[in-house]
């Protein structure tokens, strides 16, 4: 890993060779739902991209890292200037960014990270930690805070892998991408089982810093639940928690580092629990009478015999959208046979379950799930539809590029609440998004699924699509985001189940943890990062606003 990675689209998501198309039927249905789209092909080229000129770095920093660790090309600066939220992509497609890092710095190891932070604290250089660059909440936005200069600290060279096969733990370098970590673990016969939609590009360090949750979180656990110990290199010093399965030695500092989103320091490595690689993987689809009925099935499993490794329930709208948009290679193609055979349930809700492990364990746990699915009135659709979902599980962001090129706004957001309040949350957030889009003259499709469940509640994940207001994408998005966020806060849900806080959710942290909670976060930051160089403007709202 000599250079920063440049293997994904600089202006969009992922592998440039993957470019899903919508078929005629999907196009017609989309048009019927959101109105006529006016195509918005990407104008920007790398060569013509407008970017602020970089400030020169302190000589001490250049000396410490060496020229081979510092990159200042236009492409590298653009690639490190935004995450991969809708507004980020709209800006990239426009060919102009108002801010970018002055340089991309690739430290060779944890010791180099320590030196970089030390120098940046002395010199007053803001540091934005960079893993996969896949944040959808403005988590790597190059905000300088009180500082004149800013570097993106790309952890791609931190790639250690050490497996303890007896304790089933692995110490993993922050810079490993999901597939790289899984490949290294597979050589030892184990898996992390962490498959968020960003899996192909997101990194171990980012998973830890943002409390990522994978699609199989019910079975394997959210990333934060997989972390057994963690290390933090902060400007003021280093923190490392013990590699023990549990401790009662006071407040859990591990849980203060996990989720810290780079504002306290850098997470160079994480020790996580791993599992034997599954021998059998069985995915299948069911159809429930309604979203409520599907959610009740999930609740009965979570509060009873336990959840399968993957379980997700699409609401009525998402079930229809999944069929409409997924095209010939997607769910619809695989599903239509079975689905058309269930005409009387065409307003039902898709349920996907996935089970992984030893054959006997999969069979045993599937039987428990099937019993609750049948008790809840769901009908079996078969494995083809389930496999289809599994195969398409990382495809959403690619489809977003297609839709944006067609002139659509496409965004997602997520929240969670207790079972008692989940129905209210679903209704309130859905209405807020629909109303805000309609009020702007761009009525939208608003769909939702439940995909992470617990004995006491579950997450909701909303996707919405509408016509984009060309040239006003950010303002249009901001109005919807505000409406949805205020609905979440009013219902008492969390502002984020697994996308983290970043810049976009920071204004809602007071609702989440209270004013005193924010003061505690500030106190920890003052201790660990007294010069305030670490990822300014993220997670902790500015003093003036609370």
Q: Which of residues 416-475 bind a second copy (CB under 8 A)?
A: 416-421, 452, 454-459
Kindly indicate which of the ranges 175-183, 233-241, 324-332, 468-476 contains the residues binding a second copy, using the contact rule CB under 8 A: 233-241
Question: Closest separation between CB of residue 109 and a second copy, Å?
Answer: 19
**Cβ proximity of 162 and 170 under 8 Å:** yes
**Cβ proximity of 92 and 400 under 8 Å:** no
Q: CB-wise, 321 or 453, nearer to a second copy? A: 453
- The residues, any chain, with a CB within 8 Å of residue 384's CB and separated by 6 or more, are 334, 335, 338
Q: Where are the alpha helices (H) located in 356-455, listed in sequence order?
A: 359-375, 383-391, 396-405, 419-439
Question: Closest separation between CB of residue 255 and a second copy, Å?
Answer: 4
**Cβ proximity of 287 and 350 under 8 Å:** yes
Contact pick of 213, 311, 378, 480 for a second copy (by CB under 8 A): 213
Contact pick of 55, 123, 238, 424 for a second copy (by CB under 8 A): 238
Contact pick of 241, 388, 440, 451 for a second copy (by CB under 8 A): 241
Axis-axis angle for helices 331-340, 383-391 (nearest 10)? 160
Contact pick of 255, 292, 424, 486 for a second copy (by CB under 8 A): 255
For residue 222, count CB atoms less than 10 angstroms from its CB and return exposed for 0-12, middle for 13-18, buried for 19 or more.
Answer: buried
Question: Closest separation between CB of residue 284 and a second copy, Å?
Answer: 22
Question: Closest separation between CB of residue 211 and a second copy, Å?
Answer: 4
Contact pick of 408, 524, 531, 533 for a second copy (by CB under 8 A): 524
Q: Binding to a second copy by residue 513, rule CB under 8 A?
A: yes
Q: CB-wise, 258 or 379, nearer to a second copy? A: 258
| Distance from C-alpha of 246 to C-alpha of 251, rounded to nearest angstrom | 12
**Cβ proximity of 78 and 101 under 8 Å:** no
Q: CB-wise, 259 or 407, nearer to a second copy? A: 259
Contact pick of 211, 393, 467, 503 for a second copy (by CB under 8 A): 211
| Distance from C-alpha of 30 to C-alpha of 422, rounded to nearest angstrom | 28
Number of residues that bind a second copy (CB under 8 A): 90
Question: Closest separation between CB of residue 404 and a second copy, Å?
Answer: 25
Contact pick of 317, 496, 504, 535 for a second copy (by CB under 8 A): 496
| Distance from C-alpha of 153 to C-alpha of 160, rounded to nearest angstrom | 18
Find tokens 């849980």 and name the residue.
255
Q: Binding to a second copy by residue 503, rule CB under 8 A?
A: no
Contact pick of 427, 519, 542, 545 for a second copy (by CB under 8 A): 519
Q: Binding to a second copy by residue 275, rule CB under 8 A?
A: yes
Backbone angles phi, psi at 325, to 5 degrees: -95, -15
DSSP label at 177? B
Kindly indicate which of the ranges 143-151, 173-181, 284-292, 513-521 contains the residues binding a second copy, using the contact rule CB under 8 A: 513-521
Q: CB-wise, 531 or 539, nearer to a second copy? A: 539
Strands (E), 16-148: 70-71, 103-105, 125-130
What one-character-per-residue DSSP string does 289-349 give? Answer: SSHHHHHHHHHHHHHTT---SEEEEE-HHHHHHHHHHSTTTSHHHHHHHHHHTTGGGTT-E
Contact pick of 60, 236, 289, 370 for a second copy (by CB under 8 A): 236
Residues 88-127 that bind a second copy (CB under 8 A): none
Residues 18-57 that bind a second copy (CB under 8 A): none
Axis-axis angle for helices 419-439, 473-491 (nearest 10)? 150
Using DSSP, how many helices (H) and how many strands (E) does the chain show?
19, 19
Backbone angles phi, psi at 299, to 5 degrees: -60, -45
Residues 287-326 that bind a second copy (CB under 8 A): 299, 303, 305
Contact pick of 270, 325, 350, 501 for a second copy (by CB under 8 A): 501
Q: CB-wise, 23 or 255, nearer to a second copy? A: 255
Q: Binding to a second copy by residue 230, rule CB under 8 A?
A: no
Residues 142-171 that bind a second copy (CB under 8 A): 164, 166-169
Question: Closest separation between CB of residue 59 and a second copy, Å?
Answer: 29
What are 504's two structure tokens? 């976009």
H/E segment holding residue 207: helix 204-210
Q: CB-wise, 398 or 508, nearer to a second copy? A: 508
Under the phi-then-psi rule, with left for phi > 0, alpha for psi from -120 to 50, and beta for the rest, what region is 326? Answer: alpha
**In Å, how far are 30, 327, 480 from 407, measured between CA atoms?**
12, 18, 17
Contact pick of 32, 251, 343, 543 for a second copy (by CB under 8 A): 251
């Amino acid at each position: 890993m000599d250079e920063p990675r440049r293997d994904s689209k600089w202006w969009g998501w992922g592998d440039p060779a993957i470019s899903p198309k919508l078929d005629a039927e999907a196009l017609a249905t989309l048009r019927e739902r959101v109105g006529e789209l006016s195509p918005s092909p990407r104008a920007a080229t790398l060569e013509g991209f407008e970017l602020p000129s970089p400030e020169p770095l302190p000589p001490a920093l250049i000396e410490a890292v060496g020229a081979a660790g510092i990159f200042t090309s236009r492409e590298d600066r653009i690639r490190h200037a935004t995450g991969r939220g809708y507004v980020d992509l709209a800006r990239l497609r426009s060919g102009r960014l108002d801010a970018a890092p002055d340089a991309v710095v690739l430290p060779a190891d944890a010791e180099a990270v320590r030196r970089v932070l030390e120098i940046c604290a002395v010199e007053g250089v803001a540091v934005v930690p960079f893993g996969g660059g896949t944040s959808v909440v403005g988590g790597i936005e190059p905000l300088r805070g009180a500082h004149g200069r800013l570097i993106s600290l790309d952890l791609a060279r931190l790639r250690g892998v050490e497996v303890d096969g007896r304790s089933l733990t692995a110490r993993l370098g922050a810079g490993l991408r999901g597939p790289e970590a899984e490949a290294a673990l597979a050589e030892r016969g184990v898996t992390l089982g962490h498959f968020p939609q960003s899996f192909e590009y997101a990194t171990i360090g980012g998973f830890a810093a943002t409390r990522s949750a994978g699609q199989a979180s019910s079975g394997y656990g959210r990333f934060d639940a997989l972390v057994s110990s963690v290390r933090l290199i902060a400007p003021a010093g280093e923190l490392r928690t013990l590699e023990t399965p549990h401790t009662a030695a006071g407040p859990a500092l591990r849980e203060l580092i996990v989720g810290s989103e780079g504002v306290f320091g850098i997470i160079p490595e994480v020790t996580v629990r791993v599992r034997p690689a599954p021998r059998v993987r069985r995915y299948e689809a069911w159809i429930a009478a309604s979203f409520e009925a599907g959610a009740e099935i999930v609740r009965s499993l979570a509060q009873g015999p336990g959840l399968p490794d993957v379980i997700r329930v699409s609401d009525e709208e998402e079930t229809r959208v999944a069929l409409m948009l997924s095209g010939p290679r997607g769910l619809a193609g695989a599903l239509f046979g079975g689905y058309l055979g269930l005409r009387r349930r065409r307003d039902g809700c898709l349920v996907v379950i996935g089970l992984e492990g030893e054959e006997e364990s999969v069979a045993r746990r599937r039987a428990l799930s099937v019993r609750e699915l049948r008790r809840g009135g769901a009908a079996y659709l078969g494995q083809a539809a389930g496999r289809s979902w599994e195969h398409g599980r990382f495809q959403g962001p690619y489809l977003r590029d297609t839709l944006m090129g067609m002139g659509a706004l496409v965004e997602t957001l997520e929240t969670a609440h207790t079972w008692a309040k989940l129905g209210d949350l679903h209704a309130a957030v859905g209405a807020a998004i629909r109303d805000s889009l309609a009020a702007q003259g761009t009525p939208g499709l608003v769909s939702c699924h439940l995909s992470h469940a617990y004995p006491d509640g579950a997450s909701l994940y909303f996707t919405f699509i509408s016509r984009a207001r060309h040239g006003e994408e950010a303002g249009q998005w901001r109005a919807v985001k505000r409406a949805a966020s205020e609905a979440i806060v009013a219902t008492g849900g969390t502002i984020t189940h697994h996308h983290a806080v970043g810049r976009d959710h920071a204004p809602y942290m007071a609702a989440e943890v209270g004013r005193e909670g924010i003061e505690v976060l500030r106190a920890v930051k003052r201790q660990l990062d007294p010069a305030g160089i670490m990822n300014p403007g993220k997670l902790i709202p500015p003093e003036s606003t609370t």
